Amino acid sequence: MKFLRAFTARKTSPLPAPVVMTLAVDGRDVAITYKRHVSARRFTLRAARDGAGFIMTMPRRARLEDAEDFARRSIGWIRAALAKQYDRQEVADGASITFRGASYRIAATGRTRGHVSEDAEGKTLSVPGHAAHLRRRLTDWMKTEAAHELDMASHKYASAMGTAFRKITVRDQKSRWGSCSSDGTLSYSWRLIIAPAMVLDYVAAHEVAHLIEMNHGPRFWRLVLRHCPHTRDAQKWLKHHGNALHVL
Ligand SMILES: [Zn+2]
């Protein structure tokens, strides 16, 4: 009887609900779900199966602060795990990828010659080349598209704000979406072409505004907000989905 009572008591005391918190990894927010488990003896971190962040299993009575601390100390591991996830994105005939904020299907033409072509209505990207080169052909084309869009957006904002830039470079910037140097060069990440158009547009407004205000002070933000009304939406998008730009 004594045993049964103890057993019942243990069974009915519920585990606290999982808590989701974000951890900044290279300037981006990564979601970590902290889950208590009756039989857990230590902290264990693993990638969520659906690709949505990470799961931290923790002992029933451990302190959340200690679990957070463990996550912070595991940033190197998280970074490597994220890189592995990105590599998993398949570029093959029939696979789907995100481009201009929409889901596109890849159609391999099977021909060695020809250019990548976009069917915006049918949401298809036709990619020529051998299967092994599809990724390269596709990303090269995306870089060209990104450069074109970023050039247009930068010119638009430069003339609206009454300023001028020297040149634009489009690269694979890992940690920043854009930057502006004191010599008037605007640099952007080509990956912005994966995001919805309003996000790329905002980053251009942001960098062009730096030609006038080389800081993030109130005057800078007033300038950006006056010319780019979707600033807040774009910032929110980057905060929550910025990681997805690294899938290719
Ligand atoms: Zn800035």
The domains of the chain are located at 13-87, 135-246
> What separation in Å is there between the alpha carbon of 116 and the centre of ligand 1?
33
Cα–Cα dist 51/57, whole Å: 16
> What separation in Å is there between the alpha carbon of 205 and the centre of ligand 1?
10
pLDDT tens per residue, range 207-243: 999 999 999 999 999 999 999 999 999 999 998 887 7
> What separation in Å is there between the alpha carbon of 121 and the centre of ligand 1?
34
Cα–Cα dist 119/226, whole Å: 34
pLDDT tens per residue, range 112-158: 888 999 999 999 999 998 888 898 999 999 999 999 999 999 999 99
N residues, the chain: 248
> What separation in Å is there between the alpha carbon of 5 and the centre of ligand 1?
62
> What separation in Å is there between the alpha carbon of 177 and the centre of ligand 1?
10
Instruction: Tell me 44's DSSP state.
Output: E
CB 24 within 8 A of CB 68: no
Q: What pTM was computed for the model?
A: 0.68
> What separation in Å is there between the alpha carbon of 152 and the centre of ligand 1?
19
- Tokens for 113, please give them: 């010659």
Q: How confident is the model at residue 50 (pLDDT cuts 50, 70, 90)?
A: low
> What separation in Å is there between the alpha carbon of 215 and the centre of ligand 1?
7
pLDDT tens per residue, range 163-180: 999 999 999 876 689 999
> What separation in Å is there between the alpha carbon of 1 and the centre of ligand 1?
68
> What separation in Å is there between the alpha carbon of 210 and the centre of ligand 1?
7
Closest CA to 84 of 127, 54, 56: 54
Cα–Cα dist 31/134, whole Å: 31
> What separation in Å is there between the alpha carbon of 231 and the centre of ligand 1?
12
Instruction: Tell me 48's DSSP state.
Output: -
**pLDDT above 50 (res 42):** yes
> What separation in Å is there between the alpha carbon of 220 and the centre of ligand 1?
9
> What separation in Å is there between the alpha carbon of 216 and the centre of ligand 1?
6
Superfamily for the 135-246 domain: Metalloproteases ("zincins"), catalytic domain (3.30.2010.10)
